[in-house]
Amino acid sequence: MLFNSYIFIFTFLPIVFFGFFRIGKHSHALASLWLATASLFFYGWWDVRYVSLLLGSVVFNYGAGYLIGHSVARQSGSQSKILLAGAITVNLVLLVYFKYINFLADNLNHFAGTSLSIGEVILPLGISFFTFTQIAFLVDTCQGKAKEFNFVHYLLFVTYFPHLIAGPVLHHTEMMPQFAKRNVCHINWDNVSVGLSIFVLGLAKKVFIADTLADFSTPIFSAVAAGGQPMLFEAWISALAYTLQLYFDFSAYSDMAIGLSLMFNVRLPMNFNSPYKATSIIEFWRRWHITLSRFLRDYLYIPLGGSRNGKSRRYLNLMITMLLGGLWHGAGWTYVIWGGLHGLYLLVNHAWRNLKERMGWSDGGRLANLGAGALTFIAVVVGWVFFRADSFSSAMAMLYGMLGINGISLPGSLEGQLGKYFLHHDKVVFDQLIPLASLKTRKALTFLIIGFVIAWGLPNMRQLFANYHSTCEDSENAEQVHKADTFRSSRWFRVLRWRPSRLQGAFYGVLFFILLSCMASASKSEFLYFQF
């Protein structure tokens, strides 16, 4: 079930919302069970067969966590570590089978000359997210950080529908205490109004921007996958369109998840914080998919040794972490290359920082920051080419086009330009270009400019709703967050910040009506992170 669908907005959400608070008047435990059951229904809407897989994973990990917790309480360290290793192994075996078995078989057949056939294995939605969430819970239990073992709260912690399909990757310490609060199942109209507003903004990013940008990126990448060689202009249009499409698609989901959760009085952690404003790759990863970066740091990089054993070992640990982080996104060598590329970026970034520190160089002024931001953005765009391409050769064809090696084209009709370069291929390739038939260069550039203005020039969701503590971080560290946010001290904050006024109510109401009208004529597209 998609957040950007009528069935979710007008059927599932109202029933779950009013049912939760109605039941909550009589029983907190039953209200939590209602929300957990609704979350399982939400997951089963995609394919009911995999609800049993999700439930089996939850029951197994709850039982494993319970046994580990009791071993820790008895101070049986060796037994708890053995149980932890066994439970993590079971989780990883399950993940490898569903997500990577065909990838492993194909590579074995290629390199060893075998003919191993696994058959079609369907990737369950959200398996990476609910697996990582539960591994973190098991590790924290072994370390004595997780001590609550209420099964309904644990079930809700794992299956909670706003985050289940595409994150964020949750920590038990962030969520389970919130579910346990008695007032969580009593309606708070301030949270409802703020949550709905955030949801509408996220929906607008998805419908108006992300899905429109897909019309510019997808046909060119598809043509390149079929053997086309894009020239300079088409290659950059497609690469930048995908760069912004992924940005707004993931930002939209993150906002909608936070808004939906806030309506139920539960604050999710921040998972997206204007990453294209970063002036270094290190900063980029502190802003992009924040909870995944945190998971990789806490449960992979630090256990590998982190920076405790010298610079060489630190760089090796960084590279291993990023390679595995790339593989987490998908079973393909392009994802591994993307992860390795970002690992290399991080090594260079850390080496540069160390050199600056030794030489006593300053960070420079505004011009230096602009240059650093531009360099970071270009590096990220190059990485996204591998992330999006279906193969290494397709990615290289796109990069050759971006370098002008395939020729330089002048702005004009995208259809006309692409037709010249791809008509010599078979009809399948040409048919893949048909969606561009009515798209002019002016429209593509207009949406790219709009995207850049929003991504770089406007405040993000967290800043717009800074006074209302919409995320875990804002709620727990409000004073520090506010001091660190220079936007709050600017004149734009007084103009753009969300406030409960009739004018803003009218604005969000009209925007929501327009979005619903647009959804009627547009095809319902999944969020890009659904496939990971």
- Residues annotated as catalytic are 329
- 528 exposure class (CB count in 10 Å sphere: 0-12, 13-18, 19+): buried
Residues 6 or more apart in contact with residue 233 via CB below 8 angstroms: 408, 409, 410, 411, 417
How far apart are the C-alpha atoms of 273 and 439, rounded to whole Å?
31
Residue 126: count of CB within 10 angstroms of its CB: 22
**Residue 401 · residue 232 · CB < 8 Å:** yes
How far apart are the C-alpha atoms of 334 and 389, rounded to whole Å?
7
How far apart are the C-alpha atoms of 293 and 326, rounded to whole Å?
11
Cα distances (angstroms) measured from residue 294 to each of 37, 226, 404: 29, 38, 38
Cis peptide before 168 (omega within 30 of 0): yes
Residues 6 or more apart in contact with residue 84 via CB below 8 angstroms: 64, 68, 138, 139, 141, 142
For residue 383, the Cα-to-chain-centroid distance in whole angstroms is: 16
Buried b (16+ CB within 10 A) or exposed e, 449-477: eebbebbeeebbbbbbbbebbbbbbbeee
How far apart are the C-alpha atoms of 348 and 315, rounded to whole Å?
10
Residue from 42, 43, 100, 88 nearest 61 by CA:
88
Q: Is 413 helix (H, G, I), strand (E, B) or coil?
A: strand
How far apart are the C-alpha atoms of 5 and 526, rounded to whole Å?
10
How far apart are the C-alpha atoms of 243 and 265, rounded to whole Å?
33
**Residue 164 · residue 43 · CB < 8 Å:** yes
Buried b (16+ CB within 10 A) or exposed e, 6-38: eebbeebbeebbeebbebbeeebeebbbbbbbb
Please give the span between the terminal C-alpha atoms of the chain, in angstroms, as a whole number: 16
CA atoms within 13 A on the CB side of 429: 19
Torsions phi, psi for 498 (to 5 deg): -75, 140
How far apart are the C-alpha atoms of 215 and 489, rounded to whole Å?
38
